[in-house]
């Protein structure tokens, strides 16, 4: 346990993020006595370059450690594809006691794939690891680094179909070098068992049978999601649609780019630039400024298109929320929970230099980033940031408007394909807390709406409890508001029976998002 805490503190000191230790890592660690001294010695020794250890596996293992133990967000969009930017190798050195060669582009792609995939398939992979350990206590006693090495090996063999001999050899070498020879021997034995089972098509996987609870547990393992999510989606969507949603979440995500016309960049110009960069793309079917890409995002980042403000990474589902808002030149708009600011910037671009978006957020640091981004997008002249908690701001606020957007904090259950780690960070009890917060914020936002004005409530969730039910509860408390159907603002395929906007990941191949347009009586 001391080793786990030591590692957790080390990572938190680097990332300045709160320590979050999972239930698994709270279990007794039977290997602490054999490894603690060696790890301390490695931290004190001068760091050295190791060219024999696979660099992408070493980096992947350390990044996975940081995500699970240090609370680091699995952000695969950072500069150069390195989750920690220039600090990537510093994390590797401090964790493993050695550094590897610099990552090439192919290595970076593998790190992105392995980290994202290993996180997505964590429950599935851990089920196989436990089965091959033949003892759950053995699994619980695995050191965090050893567990990540095993997960990487299992993912490479089972999901990436990499050559088994290379996967076994490379992960054994990593375990021996970073931990000790005995750890390498353990990795060797377990991975070789896995190879034999896979070749014999006899992986120890659960069958979907029994009562609803048993079926949910089996599906949660097979498709690697928390049991509570499976049960909730089966209740709302039915089992077949729940499975389709989990399959979508486990696929590699696609991304959309929004051309920034305030910088003089049309979609046609963005397409030309993508062709020059040889990035495959598709034109959005729903929004004229958007282009969708499946691969090549790192190329776009490295070319500086985002840094220079020529385009933004923004899902079309979020763009359609702005369509529901329908911002027009000369209008004054309040964005109640603005940061990180994707919708704020898009709304500001619609104003064509006339009007104002008041961006309210409780996070001062994220507002500062929003202001800097607004400058690079040439929309800073129509954005005013307000650092405040919306719930207290409304008591004396001089800011009222005919258009108010509340993009509320939510579970994020609509963006699990991009946020690979989010499924493991959400609990069922979170949903109740979020619903209470959403109700409070809706009540507060309604006070900023002028008579006859518009309040748009949106989330990046597909859960009815956060969407339709919150709107229904709000209308009971606020009969002065009524629903304005969104069919004038978004394609009919996105309009629900209640007149709300909803993007369905499986149906529309977009992130899941929701928006309700509400009008205050005169």
Give residue 39's pLDDT: 46
Give residue 484's pLDDT: 98
Is the predicted pLDDT of residue 226 greater than 90, yes or no?
Answer: yes
Q: What is the mean pLDDT of residues 53-60?
A: 93
Give residue 94's pLDDT: 85
Tell me the per-residue pLDDT of 131-188, one tens digit each, with 9 for 90 and over.
Answer: 999 878 889 899 999 999 999 999 999 999 999 999 999 999 999 999 999 999 999 9
Give residue 36's pLDDT: 44
In this structure, of 66-80, 252-266, 480-494, the range with the lowest mean pLDDT score is 66-80
Q: Which residue has the higher pLDDT, 463 or 137?
A: 463
Is the predicted pLDDT of residue 369 greater than 70, yes or no?
Answer: yes
Catalytic pick among 133, 311, 336, 460: 460
Q: Same CATH fold, 255-313 and 2-12+316-520? A: no
Give residue 47's pLDDT: 56
Tell me the per-residue pLDDT of 19-43, one tens digit each, with 9 for 90 and over.
Answer: 232 333 333 333 433 444 444 444 4
- For residue 270, how far is the Cα from the chain centroid? 25
Is the predicted pLDDT of residue 449 greater than 50, yes or no?
Answer: yes
Can you give the residue ranges of every domain in the chain? 2-12+316-520, 37-118, 121-199, 212-250, 255-313
CATH number for region 255-313: 3.30.70.1170
- Would residue 410 show up in a list of annotated catalytic residues for this protein? no
Is the predicted pLDDT of residue 49 greater than 90, yes or no?
Answer: no
Give residue 186's pLDDT: 96
Is the predicted pLDDT of residue 334 greater than 90, yes or no?
Answer: yes
CA trace torsion 95, 191, 126, 183 (10° rounding): -40
Q: What is the mean pLDDT of residues 487-504?
A: 98
Is the predicted pLDDT of residue 122 greater than 60, yes or no?
Answer: yes
Is the predicted pLDDT of residue 189 greater than 80, yes or no?
Answer: yes
Cα 450 to Cα 87, 207, 389, 399, 519, distances in angstroms: 49, 56, 20, 10, 10
Cα angle, residue 314 at apex, residues 355 and 328 outer, rounded to 5°: 20
What is the CB neighbour count within 10 angstroms for residue 462? 27
Annotated binding-site residues for S-adenosyl-L-methionine read 337-343, 361, 389, 407
Is the predicted pLDDT of residue 13 greater than 70, yes or no?
Answer: no
Pick the CATH number of 2-12+316-520 from 3.90.110.10, 3.30.1330.30, 2.40.50.100, 3.40.50.150: 3.40.50.150
**What's the pTM?**
0.86
Give residue 468's pLDDT: 98
Q: What is the layout of strands, in order, in the sheet containing 311-313? A: 282-283, 290-293, 255-259, 311-313
- Assign 71 a pLDDT band (cuts: 50, 70, 90): low
Cα angle, residue 38 at apex, residues 37 and 40 outer, rounded to 5°: 65
Which residue, among 217, 167, 178, 211, has the nearest Cα to 61 in the 3D structure?
A: 178
- Assign 6 a pLDDT band (cuts: 50, 70, 90): very low
Query: CA 513, CA 462: separation in Å to the nearest integer?
Result: 6
Q: Following DSSP, what letter does each residue of 398-415 receive, concatenated?
A: ---EEEEEEE-----TT-
Quick one: fold of 121-199?
N-utilizing Substance Protein B Homolog; Chain A (1.10.940)
Give residue 30's pLDDT: 33
Give residue 398's pLDDT: 67
Give residue 184's pLDDT: 96
Mean pLDDT of the residues in the chain? 88
Annotated binding-site residues read 337-343, 361, 389, 407
Is the predicted pLDDT of residue 328 greater than 50, yes or no?
Answer: yes
């Amino acid at each position: 346990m001391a080793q786990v805490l030591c590692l957790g503190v080390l990572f938190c000191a680097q990332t300045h993020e709160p320590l979050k230790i999972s239930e698994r890592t709270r279990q007794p660690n039977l290997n602490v006595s054999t490894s603690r001294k060696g790890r301390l010695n490695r931290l004190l020794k001068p760091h050295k370059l190791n060219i024999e250890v696979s660099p992408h596996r070493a980096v992947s293992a350390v990044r996975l450690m940081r995500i699970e133990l240090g609370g680091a967000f699995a952000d695969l969009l950072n500069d150069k594809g390195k989750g920690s930017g220039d600090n990537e190798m510093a994390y590797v050195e401090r964790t493993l006691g050695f550094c590897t060669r610099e990552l090439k582009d192919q290595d970076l792609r593998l790190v992105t794939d392995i980290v994202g995939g290993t996180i997505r398939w964590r429950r599935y992979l851990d089920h196989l690891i436990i089965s091959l350990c033949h003892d759950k206590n053995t699994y619980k006693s695995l050191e965090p680094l050893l567990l990540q090495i095993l997960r990487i090996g299992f993912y490479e063999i089972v999901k990436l179909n990499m050559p088994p001999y290379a996967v076994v050899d490379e992960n054994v070498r990593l375990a021996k070098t970073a931990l000790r020879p005995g750890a390498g021997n353990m990795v060797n034995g377990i991975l070789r068992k896995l190879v034999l089972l896979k070749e014999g098509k006899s992986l120890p996987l659960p069958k979907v049978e029994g009562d609803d609870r048993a079926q949910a547990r089996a599906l949660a393992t097979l498709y690697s999601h928390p049991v509570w999510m499976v049960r909730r989606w089966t209740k709302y969507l039915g089992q077949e649609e729940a499975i389709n949603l989990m399959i979508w979440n486990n696929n590699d995500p696609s991304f959309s780019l929004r051309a920034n016309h305030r910088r003089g960049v049309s979609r046609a110009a963005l397409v030309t630039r993508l062709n020059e960069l040889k990035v495959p793309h598709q034109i959005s079917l729903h929004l004229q400024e958007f282009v969708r890409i499946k691969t090549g995002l790192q190329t776009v980042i490295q070319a500086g298109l985002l840094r220079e403000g020529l385009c933004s990474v923004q899902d079309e589902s979020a763009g359609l929320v702005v369509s529901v808002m329908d911002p027009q030149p000369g209008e004054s708009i309040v964005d109640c929970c603005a940061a990180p600011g994707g919708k704020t910037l898009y709304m500001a671009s619609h104003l064509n230099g006339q009007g104002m978006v008041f961006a309210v957020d409780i996070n001062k640091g994220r507002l500062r980033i929003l202001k800097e981004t607004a400058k690079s997008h040439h929309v800073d002249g129509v954005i005013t940031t307000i650092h405040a908690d919306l719930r207290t701001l409304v008591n004396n606020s001089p800011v009222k408007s005919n258009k108010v957007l509340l993009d509320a904090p939510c579970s994020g259950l609509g963006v699990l394909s991009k946020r690979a780690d989010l499924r493991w960070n959400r609990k069922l009890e979170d949903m109740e807390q979020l619903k209470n917060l959403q109700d409070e914020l809706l009540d507060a936002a309604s006070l900023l709406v002028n008579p006859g004005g518009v309040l748009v409530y949106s989330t990046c969730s597909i859960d009815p409890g956060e969407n339709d039910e919150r709107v229904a509860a709000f209308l009971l408390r606020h009969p002065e508001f009524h629903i304005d159907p969104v069919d004038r603002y978004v394609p009919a395929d996105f309009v629900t029976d209640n007149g709300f906007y909803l993007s369905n990941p499986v149906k529309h191949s977009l992130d899941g998002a929701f928006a309700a347009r509400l009008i205050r009586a005169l």
